[in-house]
Amino acid sequence: MIIETVRQQLQGLFPASPEAAPITGGLDAQEGQKVEKGGKEAPRVDGIIERNYVERGYHLDVQLAPDQLLAAVGILFDCGFFIETITGVDWIKDQQIEAVYDFSRYDFDLCRIVLRTRTPRSQPVLPTITGIYTGANWHERETHDFFGIVFQGHPHLIPLLLPEDADFHPLLKDFKA
């Protein structure tokens, strides 16, 4: 099945981490994060978590460093996946912004994969994936509009939905209208 093929190829990006293990239990089950003293969750480590598609809507959840992004996207492209969307999450308490990339394949073998990568909130820069998926062009522009992530190497990173003179990013948690 395609899930095993992709998991094996993506696992090559994380040689020191154990094989992806299925997360059992419901939505409240621990999600690959350790709990520090005081009950606070520690940041998730980079790696692959196999998810329950019925509960989550995707099969593999991949947390990776920004410098691994293009390699992971290339693997998905070579395996016949298409990009669905790119969005952001503002982790204001951690002073980070996360970019979330959703990929699908639904020919003979349904498979959905989520790639996540974080960047400092003070300098949110990630490499563009438009060289691999040209359709990511407007997804990256929209994510830049709303979260301020700069996609380095993007061919035309101008506002898509906001006014051209906009100097704000309305989906950041500290945005004040």
Domain locations along the chain: 2-152
Say if residue 127's pLDDT is above 90. Answer: yes
Q: Name the pTM for this structure.
A: 0.86
Q: What is the mean pLDDT of residues 18-46?
A: 54
Name the pairing type of β-strands 96-105 and 82-91: antiparallel
Going by the DSSP 8-state scheme, the letter that residue 94 receives in this structure is: G
Residue 166 confidence (pLDDT): 87
Residue 30 confidence (pLDDT): 44
Question: Are the beta carbons of 157 and 144 closer than 8 angstroms?
Answer: yes
Q: What is the pLDDT of residues 158-176, one digit of tens each?
A: 988 999 888 899 999 999 8
C-beta atoms surrounding 86 within 10 Å:
24
CA–CA separation, 64 and 127 (whole Å): 13
Q: What is the pLDDT of residues 131-158, one digit of tens each?
A: 999 999 999 999 999 999 999 999 999 9
What is the separation of C-alpha 77 from the centre of its chain, rounded to a whole number of angstroms?
A: 15
Say if residue 28's pLDDT is above 50. Answer: no
Answer yes or no: CATH 3.40.50.10490 is held by domain 2-152. no
* Residues 6+ positions from 106 with CB-CB distance below 8 Å: none
Say if residue 40's pLDDT is above 60. Answer: no
Burial of 129 (0-12, 13-18, 19+ CB in 10 A): buried
Going by the DSSP 8-state scheme, the letter that residue 35 receives in this structure is: B
Say if residue 130's pLDDT is above 50. Answer: yes
